């Protein structure tokens, strides 16, 4: 695993998530879990987009009381042979 590359990429995302910065690709939150090889990511989309309206509708139907209502929650797991192999991504 190229941990230095993962650390660099995480720092880049964190810098872009600061107030006033443009978040990459709709990412609203990116947090490593117990290791650097597993991240939780929350994504949102433009307010007027069909996808964002769908996420908000689904959250309302699910009676979602968390702060993540209307966000797409992902778990990203990087394999030991990253970057030669892509990360695995699950919708939570």
Q: 4 pLDDT band (50/70/90 cuts)? A: very high
Burial 23-56 (b: 16+ CB within 10 A, else e): eeebeebbeeeeeebebebbbbbeeeeeebeebb
Q: What is the pLDDT of residues 35-79, one digit of tens each?
A: 999 999 988 888 788 888 888 887 777 765 455 667 888 999 999
Region 16-40 average pLDDT: 84
């Amino acid at each position: 695993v190229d941990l230095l590359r993962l650390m660099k990429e995480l720092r880049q995302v964190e810098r872009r998530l600061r107030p006033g910065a443009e978040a990459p690709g709709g990412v609203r939150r990116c947090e490593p879990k117990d290791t650097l090889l597993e991240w939780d990511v929350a994504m949102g989309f433009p307010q007027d987009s069909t996808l964002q309206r769908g996420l908000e509708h689904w959250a309302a139907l699910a009676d979602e009381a968390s702060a993540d209502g209307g966000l797409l929650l992902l778990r990203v797991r990087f394999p030991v042979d990253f970057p030669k192999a892509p990360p695995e991504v699950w919708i939570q």
